[in-house]
Amino acid sequence: MSPTPTPLPTKIGILIFPGFQLLDYAGPLDALNILSYTYPLSLYTIASSLSPVSTQTSAGTERGSAFAQCVMPTHTFETAPRDLDVVIVPGGLGMRGEGMEERMKGVGEWLEGMGREDGEAVGGIRWILTVCTGSEILARTGVLDGRRATTNKRAFNEVCLFLRFFFFLFFLAFPLSLALLSSFYVFLRLFLQ
């Protein structure tokens, strides 16, 4: 008797926080939007509150810039479904610098709670995908300890600061577009089989 095939993921959650990188959010979602034309998907945008979340960073603010976009979450950490198949974690300057603790409040705890509980998998999460420096957010939770992952080469040393027993494969000279596509290659390949 053949083993039952693993069902393809349908519930996609994406985490956002103040100062997230818009491309890290929009790039993967654009690819998934196209996939949703032929395969049923549900999207859940998750943040600490239901208020719009801005991409504004302290770097822009310090230079007098008021140029940012806002994304409206659909769920909070408390109301997000526990049976997500995939969670996407974007990077961004908001996860660093002065005020980082306030901007990232609850993010690590939510990721830890969604991934493991008393050593057992929680809910239906099968994959946690990070984009660029989103791997640093995940590394801070300890979820990446002992696992292989990718990150932005410029953030390699910062990400390694949060790891104990971790080996990195990282991009040496790929353009950003290839880095985004590479991050989702395995995920999308599952859908296209």
Q: Are 140 and 106 in contact (CB under 8 A)?
A: no
Give the list of residues 6+ apart from residue 3 with CB closer than 8 angstroms, or none: none
Q: What share of the chain is helix, strand, coil (3-state, %, to 5)?
A: 35, 15, 50
Helix axes 22-35, 176-191, angle to 10 degrees: 30
> ∠ at Cα 108 (58, 23), nearest 5°?
50
Question: In the 8-state DSSP scheme, what is residue 87?
Answer: E
Active-site positions read 132
